[in-house]
Amino acid sequence: MKRKLITTADSHEEYLSKVGYESASTIKLAMQSDHDYLWFKKSRPSTKSQSFGTALHMNLLEPDRFEQHYWCLRDEDKVDRDATWVVKANKDKKVELIAQNQGKVWLEQYDWDAIQTISERVIFDDRFTKFVAQSTKEKSFYVDNFYAGISTKCRPDSYMPTIEVDIKTTKAADPKGFWYEFLKYKYHIQRALAVDMMRLFGIDIEQSCILAVSNEAPYNHEFYRVPQHLLDAGREMYQEGLHRISRIRDGKVYTGFVSPDQEVDQNGMIVLKAH
Please give the pLDDT value at position 51.
85
Q: How confident is the model at residue 204 (pLDDT cuts 50, 70, 90)?
A: very high
Q: What is the pLDDT of residues 62-120, one digit of tens each?
A: 998 898 999 999 989 999 988 888 899 989 999 999 999 999 999 999 999 999 999 99
Set out the domains of the chain in order of their start, with CATH numbers: 4-249 (3.90.320.10)
Residue 146 vs residue 51, higher pLDDT: 146
Q: Is the pLDDT of residue 7 over 90?
A: no
* Predicted local confidence at residue 46, as pLDDT: 61
In the predicted model, is pLDDT for residue 275 greater than 60? no
Task: Summarize pLDDT for 17-48 with one digit per residue, the tens.
Answer: 899 999 999 999 999 999 999 998 887 666 55
Residue 122 has pLDDT above 90, yes or no: yes
Mean pLDDT of the chain: 90
Read off the pLDDT of residues 103-118 as tens digits, 9 standing for 90 and up. 999 999 999 999 999 9
- Tell me, what's the pLDDT at 256? 79
pLDDT in the model for residue 262: 72
Query: Does residue 29 contact residue 36 with C-beta atoms inside 8 Å?
Result: yes
Any long-range contacts for 253-257 (C-beta under 8 Å, 24+ apart)? 253/34, 253/35, 253/38, 254/33, 254/34, 255/34, 255/35, 256/33, 257/32, 257/33
pLDDT band at 8 (very low <50, low <70, confident <90, very high): confident
> Does position 170 have pLDDT exceeding 70, yes or no?
yes
Q: Is pLDDT at 149 greater than 60 in this prediction?
A: yes
The length of the chain in residues reads 275
Q: Which residue has the higher pLDDT, 259 or 265?
A: 259
- Half-sphere exposure (Cβ direction) of 164: Cα atoms closer than 13 Å: 24
Element (H, E) at 30: helix 24-32
pLDDT of the residue at 11: 84
**Paired residues of 154 in beta bridges:** 141
pLDDT at 1 over 60: no
Contact 157, 199 (CB under 8 A): no
